[in-house]
A and B are shown apart, each in its own frame.
Chain A
Amino acid sequence: MLALQILVNGLLLGGLYVLIAQSLNLIFGVMGVVNLAHGAFIVVAGLFTYWFASSTGINPLAVLPFVFIVMALVGAGLQPLLIEPLMKMGRSKAELLSLMVTFGLDYVLVELALQVWGSSFVSVPYLQSSWKLAGLDFSQALVVTGMFAALVSALLYWWLNRTDSGKSLLAASQSETGAICCGIDVKRVRMLAFALGVALAAAAGVLVIIVEALAPQTADDLTLLAFVIIALGGLGSYVGVAVAALLLGVAQSITGYFVGGNAEYVLPYVLLILVMVALPGRFRRA
């Protein structure tokens, strides 16, 4: 029963990780850009949700569509300004320079968040009890956020594989020249991918702050967490990343129980090092 409980907790946490990682994966897959400002977008959206929900008393989940749309527009505005000019320099050069640009963006966003919200950890007090079912405890916050995350991920998956614009995005990520040969406007696809990636990161932020406390300085931890998951799951592979996210959730849940809370937070870093040593090829695009 205990083992089952640990598994349930892990899978619920993993559900949230799917969303955290998939948004980074989307941007990387299409543009070869590792968006180091990923965690900053999550944190900014989370802290905004905290501020908005606590000052108006509105249900934090109701903020999600609004945050999603606003951050999509922010992404659509930033991409042509910061990322697109690098794309002309060729993929390998662009990958390196985009690391620097998004690192700078991360710095700016985190400092702005510190100025606006300060450095203390905050969380949205919402759904704090748990449901009991078949002798197992289901944290309400984790169940609801996990379901939201699963829903958003499923929508993303459906959009990528079943719609013309989604398939165009997959095509452009696998061969830019090939996509152009189909008459796809690759520049527009890149903007769309970045906008969607930022919006999904923001959606993740709204959900994360319901589950755990955030502060601006946690941005980089979230970026790294997402990076570990997409490295484990295979860069650019959507199914692989979803599986890796769920597994990491379970692995954290197990270490958290048997070793302790701190070990839980160290685990992604240990895994990253192990993966880099054992399977260096994993860091190539799938």
Chain B
Amino acid sequence: MSEVDPRWGADAVPALVVENVTTRIGPLTILDGLSLELRAGEVVTVLGANGAGKTTLLRTIAGLYPPRQGHIRLFGESIEGRPAHEITRAGIGHVPSGRELFPRLSVADHLELGGRLSPPARRAELRARMLAMFPVLGRRLGQRAGTLSGGEQQMLAIARALMTDPRVLLLDEPSTGLAPKIVLSVFQTFPMLREQGVSILLAEQSLTLGLTAADRAYVVDQGRIVLSGAAAQLAEDHRVVDTYLGR
């Protein structure tokens, strides 16, 4: 790794380590020996054009696709190859692309389902925190998820993932289909999450958005990391744009 955030010691156990992971879907190799690291308390963005492998990376970490080879460690604990629901329970919150809400269940049901594994006291605490973070959800508690606006749905998907009390949050293109103003309000919750000890791995197609929100970033192309570094540095690096344009 090129950079170490001074707030976190280099010797601390990283929140998430992805090591030489290869994932195939059918005959296609989507991730090709990909490695990255997320330190505790960091926000790291995975940048890449459409089809670069960002979603597959997040889904592989979440256990939805079993990796063909390589290791994935959550605070030093090996999680690759475990059933996906157990990975959720181990502390990986996933806000998948397309949000994957339950259209005919209420906002309150989503929060309850997300928090179903926590003891009642912790669940109540998490719920209160979510309603403070996303006040709009509090006004829609009885409403079905399918009737919410796009921004509200995205907030609900994030709140549902946070209700599982994760140590690492995977966010798959939360900006899709949202007005920039709403995206920024989603990103504004990151410092709060960081304070609560949640590390964030964000997959993002938009360079500007992805780099504003992050400490560090990786650029993925054809299932491999081609560039990495501090977000501010990468924002100046013309090679990032070149990768996007396939140069």
A residues with CB within 8 A of B? 164, 167-168, 170-171, 174-175, 177-187, 286
Contact = CB atoms under 8 A, between A and B. Distances in A.
Which of B95, B113, B161 neighbours the largest number of chain A CB atoms within 10 Å of its CB?
A: B113
Contact of B113 (A167, A177, A186): A167
A276 B93 CA distance: 42
Given A180-B84, A185-B85, A174 B116 contact: no
B164 A181 contact: yes
B155 to A, nearest CB: 15
A174 B103 CA distance: 7
A177 B96 contact: yes
Contacts of B101: 175, 178
B109 A167 contact: yes
B102 A171 contact: yes
B161 A181 contact: yes
Contact of A184 (B63, B85, B161): B85
A181 B96 contact: yes
A171 B113 contact: yes
A174 B112 CA distance: 16
Interface in B100-148: 100-105, 109, 112-114, 116-117
Contacts of A171: 102, 105, 109, 113
Interface residues of B, number: 30
B64 interface: yes
Given A181-B164, A185-B85, A175 B102 contact: yes
A183 B164 contact: yes
A162 to B, nearest CB: 11
A276 to B, nearest CB: 24
Interface string B74-112: 000000000111101100011110011111110001001
30 contacts: A167-B113, A168-B116, A170-B102, A171-B102, A171-B105, A171-B113, A174-B104, A175-B102, A177-B100, A178-B101, A178-B160, A179-B113, A180-B85, A180-B94, A181-B62, A181-B88, A181-B94, A181-B95, A181-B160, A181-B161, A181-B164, A182-B163, A182-B164, A183-B85, A183-B86, A183-B88, A184-B113, A185-B85, A186-B85, A187-B83
Contacts of A178: 96, 99-102, 160
A165 to B, nearest CB: 10
Nearest to A237: B104
Contact of A167 (B62, B94, B99, B105): B105
Contact of A170 (B64, B85, B105, B161): B105
Nearest to A238: B104
Contacts of B94: 180-181
Contacts of A174: 102-105
The 3 nearest A-B residue pairs measured at CB: A178-B100, A183-B88, A174-B102
B97 to A, nearest CB: 9
A178 B146 CA distance: 13
B88 A182 contact: yes
Nearest to B170: A181
